[in-house]
Structure 1
Amino acid sequence: MTQHSVPGEQRPANEGRKAAARNRAALVAAARDVYSEYGLDAPLSAIARRAGVGQGVLYRHFPDREAVASAVLEENVRQIEEAAAAEDADLPRILGVLTWHLTESAAFIGLLHADEADGPSSVPPYAQALSERVERALRAHLPDGHRLAAADDDLMIAVAMVSGAVTGPTREQRERRARAAWRLLGAEVGPVRPFAR
């Protein structure tokens, strides 16, 4: 069948890479939401539906479940690093961004609970690398003498403790519990929100 153009009709532009980048960003945002609501075992089809794309698009970007979770984690860590690199960065603001990710992302909580107690092979290398990046971003703004700097691992133990406290069926409940945990640890938390570029 031959298609003829109709006078005045414009063909939609092929957005190529722009559409691919937009679809990937939508999939990462959708995965964060779906994981927050249903946990890491949520069906990938739910993520594709939430992003408004077909499963084929999801699989073009992410070959498997681990790749999707890894992309969410990478985005979370990138935002924390950007918050730490901002001109007005300070520990409370960075903790606010970190806390937002803790309340929004089940995958992120799992990363921060990664523990080498069961042996180094129990922690996936990408998770260990992301956890170290979070620690560097926070440590760069930790004031001298801060109680979270008393020992080398105190900072990440505190983060793991707060992430363990982030429970509850609503985001508001999770945020309230996270703020309470930081308060008990003597850490001030700024506005709980994602980092805005």
Structure 2
Amino acid sequence: MLGAARKHFATDGFAASLTAIARQAGVGQGSLYRHFPDRISLAVAVFDDNVAQLEAFAARPEASLRDVLELLTEQTVASVAFIDMLRASDDDSRLRAILDRVTDALDRKLGGARRDGDVHDSVTAGHLLLAIEMVAALVAKAPAPSRRDLADRAWAMLRPSIFR
């Protein structure tokens, strides 16, 4: 079920059809809802891996803030639903918990980048999340093959407002 959900979220975003997910997984909707009572439960299960990967990567001393933003961009290009889910975090405590984990990972790297003089002093984790959301909104409308190039071009415009 998670594999089918990951695929549909990647192509259709956070609003992917749960019926289509169940069908692809080869189960009935009742079975899907027994395991995941709502869309958010399913999304949290699917994207918890993304957040765990981000946290582990951000914890590595050699990983820079740029590296962490690159990983988030890769995750966004692979599935725009990941950022859609973070944007919906005001509505649900489970999503807020995911957003808090992402924000904490960014904050840790931002502190080091600020100490090293790599970023403008005014940049916050909120600014970084906004930049990621902007890139995600752009790539969400693009065909999958052109998403990476579009994300790279958007970051080329955004980086000067973040990094020195």
TM-score calculated relative to the size of structure 1:
0.64
Q: 1:185 to 1:146 in 2, by over 3 A?
A: farther
Q: Distance in 2 between matches of 1:160 and 1:43?
A: 22
Q: 2:100 aligns to what? A: 132
SS in 2 for 1:140: helix
AA matched with 1:147: V
Higher-helix-fraction structure: 2
Q: 1:104 aligns to what? A: 78
Match of 1:167 among 133, 136, 140: 140
- The runs of 5 or more residues in structure 2 that have no matched partner are none
Cα distance, 1:30 vs structure 2: 2.2
1:69-84 matches, cutoff 5 A: 69-84=43-58
1:49-128 matches, cutoff 5 A: 49-51=23-25, 53-55=26-28, 57-86=31-60, 88-114=62-88, 122-128=90-96
Cα distance, 1:50 vs structure 2: 3.4
Q: Distance in 1 between matches of 2:36 and 2:134?
A: 31
Q: Which has the larger radius of gyration?
A: 1
Q: 1:8 aligns to what? A: none
Q: 1:136 to 1:149 in 2, by over 3 A?
A: farther
Moved over 4 A (4+): none
1:149-164 matches, cutoff 5 A: 150-152=122-124, 153-164=126-137
AA matched with 1:186: R
AA matched with 1:43: S
Q: 2:156 aligns to what? A: 183
Q: 1:87 to 1:54 in 2, by over 3 A?
A: farther
How many residues of Structure 1 are paired with residues of Structure 2 in the alignment? 154
Cα distance, 1:108 vs structure 2: 1.5
Q: Distance in 2 between matches of 1:82 and 1:44?
A: 30
AA matched with 1:180: R
Match of 1:141 among 88, 109, 114: 109
Cα distance, 1:105 vs structure 2: 2.3
TM-score calculated relative to the size of structure 2:
0.75
RMSD of aligned residue pairs (Cα, Å) = 2.7
Q: 1:46 aligns to what? A: 20
- Cα deviation digits, residues 26-80 of structure 1 (max 9, x gap): x2232121122233333324223434x4236533421222211222232221221
AA matched with 1:160: E
Q: Distance in 2 between matches of 1:138 and 1:161?
A: 16
- The runs of 5 or more residues in structure 1 that have no matched partner are 1-26, 116-121, 188-197
Question: Is residue 31 of structure 1 aligned with residue 10 of structure 2?
Answer: no
Q: 1:128 to 1:146 in 2, by over 3 A?
A: farther
